[in-house]
């Protein structure tokens, strides 16, 4: 599988398509592109008279309503660039993880006011009532923060509040 920044063995055309996908934004978190999010698993370009593009995407969460919009936006953007035979295939395994989010994406999230995901080793601590993660406030950088709810405005976020600057903020939770 190709990770952003690791486009090894790609044709020039596929490189170009990856570049185009970098301009497709996540509709819920518009500072992130679909490549930042790490949901593009592969791009396959087949040249010829009826050249075709297949984009393999993986959902963040099973019920994420943004996935349909994302597929639509990818198709539209590729059409704009003159591609015709476009196929978008959803694959579930291996399951998406926040580990696949790009470093650039994490920085963009923080600048946008959403705390970026921690490294995966602290994902969903199953110990009950455990405050498993030290989340840094994206505004004042304090680690003195508190979990309000594990579920937020979208499936991928949790609600936190900073105990120093008192700001509530979204945390893009580990998954």
Whose tokens are 């087949």? That residue is 46
Distance from C-alpha of 136 to C-alpha of 46, rounded to nearest angstrom: 45
* Backbone angles phi and psi of 161, in degrees to 5: -135, 140
Least CB distance to another protein at residue 42 (A): 15
Task: Considering the complex, state which of residue 23 and residue 163 has its C-beta at the smaller distance from another protein.
Answer: 163
Q: DSSP letters along 36-67, please?
A: HHT-EEEEEEE-STT-EEEEEE--SSTT-THH
Task: Considering the complex, state which of residue 79 and residue 130 has its C-beta at the smaller distance from another protein.
Answer: 130
Task: Considering the complex, state which of residue 94 and residue 119 has its C-beta at the smaller distance from another protein.
Answer: 94
Least CB distance to another protein at residue 37 (A): 16
Task: Considering the complex, state which of residue 50 and residue 62 has its C-beta at the smaller distance from another protein.
Answer: 62
Least CB distance to another protein at residue 126 (A): 6
Task: Considering the complex, state which of residue 45 and residue 170 has its C-beta at the smaller distance from another protein.
Answer: 170
Task: Of 18, 37, 17, 19, give the one whose Cα is nearest residue 27.
Answer: 37
Least CB distance to another protein at residue 73 (A): 19
Q: DSSP letters along 126-149, please?
A: -STT-----PPPTTT--S-EEEEE
Least CB distance to another protein at residue 71 (A): 13
Binding-site ranges for another protein (CB under 8 A): 59, 61-65, 91-95, 124, 126, 128-129, 148-153, 155, 159, 175
Distance from C-alpha of 152 to C-alpha of 22, rounded to nearest angstrom: 26
Task: Considering the complex, state which of residue 49 and residue 92 has its C-beta at the smaller distance from another protein.
Answer: 92
Least CB distance to another protein at residue 20 (A): 27
Whose tokens are 């680690």? That residue is 143
Cα angle value 11/14/16 (rounded, 5°): 115
């Amino acid at each position: 599988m190709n990770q952003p920044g690791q486009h090894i063995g790609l044709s020039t055309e596929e490189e170009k398509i990856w570049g185009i996908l970098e301009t497709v934004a996540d509709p819920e978190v518009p500072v992130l592109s679909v490549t930042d999010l790490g949901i593009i698993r592969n791009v396959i370009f087949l040249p010829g008279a009826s050249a075709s593009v297949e984009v393999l995407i993986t959902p963040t969460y099973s019920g994420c309503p943004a996935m349909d919009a994302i597929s639509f936006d990818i198709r539209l953007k590729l059409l704009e660039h003159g591609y015709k035979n476009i196929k978008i295939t959803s694959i579930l395994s291996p399951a998406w993880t926040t580990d696949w989010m790009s470093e650039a994406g994490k920085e963009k999230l923080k600048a946008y006011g959403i705390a970026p995901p921690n490294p995966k080793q602290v994902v969903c601590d199953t110990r009950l009532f455990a405050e498993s993660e030290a989340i840094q406030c994206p505004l004042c950088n304090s680690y003195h923060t508190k979990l309000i709810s594990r579920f937020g405005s979208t499936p991928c976020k949790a609600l936190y509040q900073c105990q120093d600057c008192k700001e509530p903020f979204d945390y893009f939770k580990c998954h």
